[in-house]
Amino acid sequence: MRPLREAMADTPVVVIQGARQVGKSTLAHQFLAASGAPLISLDAHAVLAAARNDPDSFVRQRPGSIMAIDEVQRAPELLVAIKAVVDADPRPGQFLLTGSADLLRMPGQHESLAGRAETIELYGLSQGELSRGRDDLAERLFASDETSLSDLTGTMTRSDYLSVLCEGSFPVARVRTGRRRQAWFDNYLTRIVDRDARDISRLSHLDRLPRIIRLLAANSSGELVKARMAADVDIPETSIQGYLNLLQSLYLIQVLPAWSGNLTQRIVGRPKIALLDTGLAARLKNLAPAAMEPGAAGAIHAGSLLETFVAGELRRQSTWSVSRFNLHHFRDRNGKEVDIILENDERAIVGIEVKAAASAGPRDFTSLAFLRDNLGRRFRMGAVLYTGQAPVRFGERLWALPVSSLWT
């Protein structure tokens, strides 16, 4: 709530963006409660028709009060009308918008509201929000705070983590179990593809979108090979990026670009890509927690899904962390690779490896040590996040930490 209050206090237009059902409308309603202003939803057909028919009148219907519009991506023509209002009167806090698509990525959208708007992105509930924990591991790692790291003893087991993966980050899905949660994910995906994707996309083969999403779930946190994906869904390789852009616009996937840092010319430049929500990914893989236990048929998927989960938690934390950072991954042709690279505004680096095992050893730190030795003081900390419970120092600026260190 604090970032929203701060933005509304000094910015004319604030946009809350994120996937459907991550809590955008709930956050907006909570903020609006004090003012009594309504949240006008464009999901209502009559309201949507009015907005599209006369956008200038629509955005001026509450002069002197907050104009709050839900699902604004359904009528992007409103943004031009909003620009005209704030150009004539640049007072802060005039418009609160929510959107289930990234407005800047929408095809044909030419109005960015640059200098007039601030975007707050929601990526679902983080574990820290659920447990009221500290929820900012990146700040500790960038600060090289080894004393603090030594206190991060965990209490969760591998089975506990597997349950968290399958719950996901959508508030409604989390309170369901078994077949009811499965049904929720199935219906959620159907409605995204059948309505939201068609609302904002001009792509010609949207019927292939479910297949693309399932391929991404199957290759969770794997490197993107466009030629292979295009062949699997029978569309031209030159077209595949448009579908990935659409899924990113809908906040269904996350992309980790390759990071080089000028260490070597033998960097593999393909991005990693995964679904943002591990609950949805697990459902598309038909995985329950028990199916990923050691020795079970789906155990092979636990590592990639846990890596997806960690990347998602860090992406959520990046929106409020004391240390502002971007997410990347690293791999070179000599076999050195690090699952997640965090780079902050000072170009300092944190490296994170993710293991589904309950133990860690020196071999797990080989690539992190390579980065440390080549980057010098620019490398602040390397961590192997694993499903064990003890924080263990494995050398200078190298630690094995429980996955729960992300939010404790």
Residue 323 has pLDDT above 90, yes or no: no
Residue 110 belongs to domain spanning: 2-122
Together in a domain, 342 and 216: yes
Residue 95 has pLDDT above 90, yes or no: yes
Is the CB of residue 334 less than 8 Å from the CB of residue 266?
yes
3-class secondary structure, 18: strand
Residue 142 has pLDDT above 80, yes or no: yes
Together in a domain, 59 and 201: no
For residue 347, give both structure tokens: 């170009």
Together in a domain, 92 and 133: no
Residue 134 has pLDDT above 80, yes or no: no
In the prediction, which pLDDT does 3 show?
87
In the prediction, which pLDDT does 108 show?
57
CA 44 to CA 96: how far, in whole Å? 18
Domain C-terminal end among 96, 122, 148: 122
Together in a domain, 187 and 269: yes
In the prediction, which pLDDT does 38 show?
95
Q: Structural domain tally of the chain?
A: 2
In the prediction, which pLDDT does 357 show?
96
Together in a domain, 221 and 363: yes
CA 354 to CA 340: how far, in whole Å? 8
Together in a domain, 47 and 152: no
Domain C-terminal end among 91, 122, 153: 122
Together in a domain, 133 and 273: yes
Residue 231 has pLDDT above 70, yes or no: yes
Average pLDDT of the segment spanning 379-389: 98
Together in a domain, 82 and 135: no
Cβ of 184: how many Cβ atoms within 10 Å? Answer: 21
Together in a domain, 114 and 132: no
pLDDT in tens, 157-168: 999 999 999 999
Together in a domain, 161 and 70: no
Domain C-terminal end among 69, 101, 122: 122
Residue 17 has pLDDT above 90, yes or no: yes
Residue 270 has pLDDT above 60, yes or no: yes
Q: Between 381 and 105, whose confidence is greater?
A: 381
Q: What is the CATH number of the domain that holds 52?
A: 3.40.50.300
Average pLDDT of the segment spanning 70-89: 93
Average pLDDT of the segment spanning 147-154: 94
Together in a domain, 304 and 281: yes
Q: Tell me the HSE value of 35 on the side-chain side, using a 13 A CA sphere.
A: 20
Average pLDDT of the segment spanning 349-370: 97
pLDDT in tens, 197-225: 988 888 888 999 999 999 999 999 899 99
Q: Tell me the HSE value of 23 on the side-chain side, using a 13 A CA sphere.
A: 18
Average pLDDT of the segment spanning 65-81: 93
Q: DSSP string covering 55-90, please?
A: HHHHTTSSTTS-EEEESGGG-TTHHHHHHHHHHH--
CA 358 to CA 158: how far, in whole Å? 7
Average pLDDT over the chain reads 92
CA 201 to CA 193: how far, in whole Å? 10
For residue 11, give both structure tokens: 């910015």
Together in a domain, 71 and 135: no
In the prediction, which pLDDT does 135 show?
87
